[in-house]
Amino acid sequence: MIRLISVSLFSCWIGTAMAQQPTAAVENSIDAVQAKVIDWRRDIHEHPELSNREFRTAKLVAEHLRALDFDEVETGVAHTGVVGILRGGKKGPTIALRADMDGLPVKEQTGLPFASEAIGEFNGEEVPVMHACGHDTHVAMLMGAAEVLAANRDEIAGTIKFIFQPAEEGAPAGEQGGAALMIEEGVLDGPDAPEAIFGIHAWPREGGTLSYRSGSFMAAADGLYIKITGRQTHGSAPWAGVDPIFLAGQIMTALQAIPSRQLDITRGPAVITIGSIHGGVRGNIIPDDVEMTGTIRTFDAGVREQLHAKLKSTVRNMAEAAGATAEVVIDSYAPVTTNDPVLLQEMMPALEWAAGEGNVRDHFYITGAEDFALFEERIPGLYLMLGINEPGVAPGDHPPNHSPFFDSWEGALINGVRAHVAFALGYANRSGS
């Protein structure tokens, strides 16, 4: 068995009237599930599935929840999502625990004995598939927490809704999916509507640590599409037409002046990246048009709105000045992912019990984005990063998320299980509740 990190336990979770100490039964259940979590993680890692195609993963999860005698298990939510309801032995609030299930169109190069060799279809093309963002660990940890909590349901004050979400990485072209579709289909509504939600993401930091930032944490993300239409001509006579390639280069440079010179950076950073540019078929023909796609990241709603307006006016005015036209489309993926400051403070004792004293740490902004933020538009939430580096590996030395070399140290996963359990058992007894 893999040697797991040791944790120093807080003796209690502080409530308004009394302290609730984790029972020996809870601790024993956590110990008993460790090896299973690792086995589930390896199985899911070896068999990744792309967004809205998580059929095998969903079946594994649903069968597990039913075997645990959950009160309700619903499948096919937002295509392949699974939602489980576990009612506790005591009266209390309903809260939600969430894990995302999808992999990425990445060819794995980790060399792990359980490395993926899966092939899928992404936007009409055959692609390799890999869990390059740690969603395999997310599913396994929440499955582990489900087993711990089901074995100790008499300790639960209230109801726990388990949300296994598809398509966090984005639905295929022409499809809906992810948190947005789960919300549309009512996952936050009805008699078991949760009043708070908790999630964890695998992250290249010290193994077993939980990282947070109060307030804005992960960026809002918007997709960017720009089409510049000029007038085709011979490459030897650019004055006889309107060159959209030359204009596209000027626009890409001008866009970088928006965050650096036109926005108040004291309200939060902003990023504009052009990730693809396509135009033309050969070197001596200036084409009619050029298409660019990119991404926008912001941490403040006002800055986001201002950036969008300035970007559109910059592109259109530059195109008009050159005798071209421009189409600009900005598609929202997710708002800013936040940690509710009051909820974070109230839950801190439980989180420190989960990871060990000194292992719950403040973090800087993360420019990655998460559609978990869509749940947080409706209810308060906490979203934390679980460090998955092997001992002795510095944060900057670990392959980043979405890398073909990304891997998670399995010794850290039990702290993710503990964090889910801590939120589920500690929420009703949190300070100030």
- The string of pLDDT tens digits covering residues 343-393 is 999 999 999 999 999 999 999 999 999 999 999 999 999 999 999 999 999
Band the pLDDT of 430: cuts 50, 70, 90: confident
pLDDT tens per residue across span 58-117? 999 999 999 999 999 999 999 999 999 999 999 999 999 999 999 999 999 999 999 999
Q: Which residues contact 93 (CB under 8 A, 6 or more apart)?
A: 157, 158, 159, 195, 196, 427, 428
Residues 78, 192 within the same domain: yes
Rounded distance, CA 185 to CA 206, Å? 37
Strands (E), 363-409: 381-389
Residues 316, 344 within the same domain: no
Residues 42, 183 within the same domain: yes
- Supply 352's token pair: 């420190």
Residues 284, 360 within the same domain: no
User: For a pLDDT cut of 90, what percent of the chain falls above it?
Assistant: 92
Residues 246, 168 within the same domain: no
pLDDT tens per residue across span 407-428? 999 999 999 999 999 999 999 9
Q: Is the pLDDT score of 332 beyond 90?
A: yes
Residues 201, 348 within the same domain: yes
pLDDT tens per residue across span 250-267? 999 999 999 999 999 899
Q: Across the chain, what does the average pLDDT equal?
A: 94
Question: Which DSSP string corresponds to 126-177?
Answer: EEE-B--SSHHHHHHHHHHHHHHHHHTGGG-EEEEEEEEES-TT-PPTT---
Q: Which residues contact 117 (CB under 8 A, 6 or more apart)?
A: 108, 128
Residue in 381, 383, 379, 380 with CA at minimum distance from that of residue 369:
383
* Domain final residue pick, 319, 334, 349: 334
Residues 147, 75 within the same domain: yes
Residues 210, 229 within the same domain: no
Rounded distance, CA 427 to CA 226, Å? 46
CATH code: domain of residue 350: 3.40.630.10
pLDDT tens per residue across span 164-189? 999 999 999 999 999 999 999 999 99
Which helix or strand (DSSP H or E) is residue 63 part of? Answer: helix 55-67
Band the pLDDT of 431: cuts 50, 70, 90: low
Does any domain span residue 260?
yes
Residues 363, 329 within the same domain: no
Quote the pTM value. Answer: 0.92
**Residue numbers of the domain that contains 267:** 220-334
Rounded distance, CA 179 to CA 183, Å? 6
* Domain final residue pick, 334, 355, 379: 334
Half-sphere exposure of residue 404, counting CA atoms within 13 Å on the CB side?
9
Ramachandran category for residue 337: left, alpha or beta (phi over 0 → left; psi -120 to 50 → alpha): beta
Residues 141, 227 within the same domain: no
CATH code: domain of residue 308: 3.30.70.360
Report the domain count for the chain. Answer: 2
Does any domain span residue 250?
yes
How far from 389 is each of 103, 318, 328, 411, 413, CA to CA, in Å? 20, 46, 41, 9, 11
Residues 179, 73 within the same domain: yes
Does any domain span residue 100?
yes
* Domain final residue pick, 278, 302, 334: 334
Does any domain span residue 8?
no
